[in-house]
Chain A
Amino acid sequence: MASILELIATCTERGKLNKDAPYPPDMRELNGVDELVAQALSDGIDPDEVLNQGLMVGMGRIGEQFSRNEVFVPELLMAARAMSAGMKHLKPHFDSGAAKRKGTFVIGTVAGDLHDIGKNLVRMVMEGGGWEVVDLGVDAGVDKFLAAVELNPGCAVGLSALLTTTMGHMGDIVQAIRDKAPDTKILVGGAPLTQEFCDMIGADSYARDPQLALEYLSSSFV
């Protein structure tokens, strides 16, 4: 029989929120992430294990499938919802220090740009990967990013843009962050971006999709 952590991983990957949820159709009537995480914690399983070996494993699997174009945004969103249901049970453990987040990730869509779906997906995948996320929303300029970096020492920063005109603002934001907190890891993403552009503006990494963003940050903050 699969361990409860494996069940949590599977339910997260498949987006099975709770027992009443009709999605996915082939898992009707079965317990979902909500019930399983509650049970795991009441069985005395360490909250860090629930996060690392349950929820994160599931989000990692769906993120990889998304990267390979085997599933698309709707499936990723269902997984992210299921994961949040599990995170709700873990929150008191994070607050008390019994479970640890990987770090803090500040993300925003840069000034002049109002697109938020891509940025929201990155946010959800990062949360699923165990990061505390500070979301600056859309149309975020230098001042907003600097204030967030100041408030969250040691954070990583993600900048998103969907048009070439607005990705131009990324360079200014990267520079301002470098001046204030030179060691901050800065990640950029969005449809018109490339690795060359990332190198040109002095960001640390370009991520084509949310999973690559998570993998990069996870490997940089071990």
Chain B
Amino acid sequence: MQTDPECLTIPFQSLEITRDDIALGMGYADGALPMPFSAQMDTLLAQAERHVRIRAGFRVLPPSSVRIAAAGFFIEDTYFETNRIIARPLRKAETLAFFVATAGQGITAWSKDLFESDDLVQAYLVDALGSEIAERAAERIQKEIAERAETEGCRITNRYSPGYCNWSVAEQHKLFAFLPDNFCSITLTPSALMQPTKSVSGVIGVGANVQKLDYECKICLETHCYRHNIRHM
């Protein structure tokens, strides 16, 4: 399986994000936002469509260019040092897919506007919504890759991102080098920060014998992160 880079536009409504999803991301363990934040979130969700430009894309690399090693992988001559935690589930992959997903710049601008008009809580709620959108868009592209893989008798691993599980976030530069410039309107600063802010990047293994193991939060070593606690409950 191999594809040219492809970028999809995802309608906001199709992500079916609920206020409880966002509440979980904010740390409310029971997924319930108290009043009045829940009502504010509903209003913001109703307005979100016009502030977002959700795009997600991927490139399945030519299998001949991919070699999985014990603590990382090669694409052509470039070595990605993921460490063993991520390399292990990729071990049986025949090829790899690089992906990116973004909620677009508008959502961050919306949050900033609210902040500047002293609406701190709404600014934060919009920020949290943006994070959820980026994650859900990544989930969507993962599903898309899975469906394409299935037509060729392949399965996929979970998705893994630079910056998690001790895979250096700086390795995003290597990853972006295998994608077209400005792919899905995402760029990378010298410090490996994606712009728009609400963006995610990563890798997925593809092959007949790979397995979809735990989501990356479950294998992450970051015990102080509230997401870690939520995903481990």
Residues of B contacting A169 in the complex (Cβ-Cβ under 8 angstroms):
191
Complex CA gap A189/B190 in Å reads: 22
Q: Please tell me if the beta carbons of A74 and B26 are within 8 angstroms of each other in the complex.
A: yes
Q: Please tell me if the beta carbons of B124 and A113 are within 8 angstroms of each other in the complex.
A: no
Complex CA gap A74/B168 in Å reads: 31
Residues of A contacting B33 in the complex (Cβ-Cβ under 8 angstroms):
74
Among the listed A111, A117, A164, A208, which residue makes an inter-chain contact with B124, where contact means beta carbons less than 8 Å apart? A117
The stretch among A48-56, A75-83, A97-105, A146-154 that forms the contact with chain B is A75-83
Q: Is the interface of B mostly helix, strand, loop or mixed?
A: loop
Complex CA gap A113/B192 in Å reads: 9
Chain A's interface size range is 20 to 34
Residues of A contacting B37 in the complex (Cβ-Cβ under 8 angstroms):
74
Q: Given A25-B36, A72-B27, A74-B26, are A112 and B120 neighbors across the interface (CB < 8 Å)?
A: no
Of B37, B121, B163, B192, the most chain A CB neighbours within 10 A belong to B121
Residues of A contacting B15 in the complex (Cβ-Cβ under 8 angstroms):
none
Chain B 114-136, CB-CB to A under 8 Å as 1, else 0, gives 01001011001101000000000
**CB of A218 within 8 Å of the partner chain:** no
Q: Given A23-B36, A25-B36, A72-B27, are A164 and B163 neighbors across the interface (CB < 8 Å)?
A: yes
Residues of A contacting B197 in the complex (Cβ-Cβ under 8 angstroms):
114-115
Among the listed B121, B169, B191, which residue makes an inter-chain contact with A77, where contact means beta carbons less than 8 Å apart? B121
**CB of B17 within 8 Å of the partner chain:** no
Q: Given A25-B35, A163-B163, A164-B168, are A73 and B193 neighbors across the interface (CB < 8 Å)?
A: no
Q: Given A69-B27, A72-B26, A78-B121, are A112 and B127 neighbors across the interface (CB < 8 Å)?
A: no
Q: Please tell me if the beta carbons of B26 and A163 are within 8 angstroms of each other in the complex.
A: no
Among the listed B36, B118, B124, B169, which residue makes an inter-chain contact with A73, where contact means beta carbons less than 8 Å apart? B124
15 A–B contact pairs at CB < 8 A? A69-B27, A69-B29, A72-B26, A74-B125, A77-B120, A77-B121, A78-B121, A80-B120, A81-B120, A112-B190, A114-B193, A120-B115, A165-B192, A166-B191, A166-B193
Given A113-B193, A115-B197, 5 additional A-B pairs, CB 8 A: A69-B226, A74-B37, A77-B120, A112-B190, A165-B169
